[in-house]
Structure 1
């Protein structure tokens, strides 16, 4: 899969948050690091590239974000050590840990560790206003639906959800930016987004055309939560200018991950920096409002990296030894 590396240089003069580099135990630290994100136009890329820059600037090492296929591919790349860090969603993480990843069937990706909670990924549908589609039940038989990059959270779960809700569709994959353009040009009927809010591609669409951001009925939400590892979620009306009221959907939690062999001291400093500076994280992306320590309990799948677990335990968030790699 073609990837693009987006690197951020780090300079000592920009150290404004972390402790001085000389005060840190740097044994075994790499000269640089890379974070696996997802396609451009999605929240993972905006969040991951901003976070990588923040870490690089404050810890004095070069770092950046790599465009990938999303959570499934990030699990594989981090497991093998091709990337030190990545972003993933709990559903794909579980499937990868159990050896059920479509990228490597039978391979248990168990060298991936959690480092901190990110945000919930809502599953929502967007269509052009002039399409007349205002609900999931309005999606016409045989409609072409864009599900994001192949292997992404949306591509893994949203087609199954649509089938569960009785929607008959043609499947289309691509980056969120590309699918947004295809929707605007009338080449596809619907985009089924799964990304932290606000989704950059949706915000861009709103500027260029009139769209309907479609939620779920009570019955639809119950059917999906009964059949998938998700919970109900409400997209506040203030998230998008196209929403006149809150929109009920479903969501899945995301966590930042590390290869379990990354030095404990480095992961400790990264966790400390991230968890103790939420205002900075929110300035990177509004979805980071929930990137806060108390949400560590949302990880029910991955073992914790020892460096991350040390910070949480030192600050009153108990992670038992049995859950640490």
Structure 2
């Protein structure tokens, strides 16, 4: 893949009729937006089914499509790393990603496209923090990271995902020796329940649908980091300390110590400014609807816009923040 392979959306999309019917949330500004170059449809790169990205991204796509009068939906992908490449190339209009893979992509260090600086990727809005958490069956006897047996089979999610990119290195840093497995979160949950793998190392917004489903079907242990393990990982990787609230899962009796990485929604930088402005406005001004899509969207608020210091903001998104009193450094606007 190279920058020259980018396919402008204007070549593959037809324009919308100026009198398109808009949904109930839209106000006059949306109706007056310049829609002459808007695509007729859009796709959002999410991740595997059974993970938070798929639920969040598909729900967000449906909301935006309904309110802007455009056909749109979520697409199953390999997760944040692949989403960056898909948005950069124009294969999808929007995507979801995390700060670690984004930094690599901005520096031309994406494992999917070594040497390609992904400069057609722009930030839209903050999503939530992705906790790194580990789940095992209770009857395995594994209650801590140090108890993961030598040579254990560990599922790290889809190949190229945030979990697959960072969690193996995190566990290696903590001295865990393992056999690596990849797959969708739902599929890995089934393998864990069937005894085909020993542990799943999740990097996904909470509550993770696959873990919630496991809790319904069997007894599980959610392994927390010790204070020493947490500090060691924070110093070695682009993550921060995090605590999984006890009310996230029925299994937890107390908050569980973990680490996390921020997620942001991204858009192709060549998407029309008014379209990205309206999509950002809808998201930032309707957090109640976002929380209905997924609980993690409680953090999808404009106050968290400063959590991105890596991806340049799309001019349409930046316009909404500026109009509403949120500062973004000019150097971080495309």
Q: TM-score range by the shorter chain?
A: over 0.9
Aligned equivalents of 1:214, 1:110: Cα separation in 2: 38
Aligned equivalents of 2:69, 2:21: Cα separation in 1: 9
Q: Could you tell me how far 1:15 is from its partner in structure 2?
A: 1.1
Partner of 2:25: 17
Aligned equivalents of 1:167, 1:106: Cα separation in 2: 31
Runs of 4+ in 1 over 6 A off after TM superposition: none
Partner of 2:287: 278
Q: Could you tell me how far 1:97 is from its partner in structure 2?
A: 1.1
Under a length normalisation based on structure 2, what TM-score does the superposition of the two structures give? 0.93
Q: Structure 1 residues 309 and 14 mapped into 2: Cα distance closer, same or farther (>3 Å)?
A: closer
Partner of 2:126: 117
Aligned equivalents of 1:158, 1:213: Cα separation in 2: 15
Partner of 2:164: 155
> In structure 1, the residue corresponding to 2:297 is in which secondary structure?
helix
Q: Contact 2:215–2:250 at 8 Å: present in 1 too?
A: yes
Partner of 1:307: 316
Q: Could you tell me how far 1:13 is from its partner in structure 2?
A: 7.3
Partner of 2:6: none
Q: Contact 2:22–2:31 at 8 Å: present in 1 too?
A: no
Aligned length: 314
Aligned equivalents of 1:26, 1:321: Cα separation in 2: 26
Q: Could you tell me how far 1:319 is from its partner in structure 2?
A: 1.2
Q: Structure 1 residues 17 and 263 mapped into 2: Cα distance closer, same or farther (>3 Å)?
A: same
Deviations 1:8-43 (A, max 9, x none): xxxx77712122653332121000000000000000
Aligned equivalents of 1:13, 1:236: Cα separation in 2: 42
Deviations 1:176-230 (A, max 9, x none): 0000000000000000000000000000000000000111000000010010000
**1:88-167 map, 5 Å:** 88-167=97-176
> In structure 2, the residue corresponding to 1:198 is in which secondary structure?
coil
> In structure 1, the residue corresponding to 2:43 is in which secondary structure?
strand
| 199, 203, 206: which one aligns with 1:194 | 203
Q: What's the Cα RMSD here?
A: 1.0
> In structure 2, the residue corresponding to 1:117 is in which secondary structure?
strand
Aligned equivalents of 1:322, 1:124: Cα separation in 2: 35
Q: Contact 2:35–2:275 at 8 Å: present in 1 too?
A: yes
Q: Contact 2:79–2:158 at 8 Å: present in 1 too?
A: yes
Partner of 2:47: 38
Q: Could you tell me how far 1:99 is from its partner in structure 2?
A: 1.1
> In structure 2, the residue corresponding to 1:255 is in which secondary structure?
strand
Partner of 2:241: 232
Q: Structure 1 residues 259 and 14 mapped into 2: Cα distance closer, same or farther (>3 Å)?
A: closer
Deviations 1:121-175 (A, max 9, x none): 0000000000000000000000000000000000000000000000000000000
Aligned equivalents of 2:156, 2:290: Cα separation in 1: 27
2:102 equivalent to 1:84: no
Q: Contact 2:309–2:332 at 8 Å: present in 1 too?
A: no
Under a length normalisation based on structure 1, what TM-score does the superposition of the two structures give? 0.95
2:330 equivalent to 1:321: yes
Q: Could you tell me how far 1:85 is from its partner in structure 2?
A: 0.3
Unaligned runs of 5+ residues in structure 1 are 1-11
Partner of 1:269: 278
Partner of 2:186: 177
Aligned equivalents of 2:46, 2:26: Cα separation in 1: 24
| 253, 261, 265: which one aligns with 1:244 | 253
Aligned equivalents of 1:22, 1:294: Cα separation in 2: 27
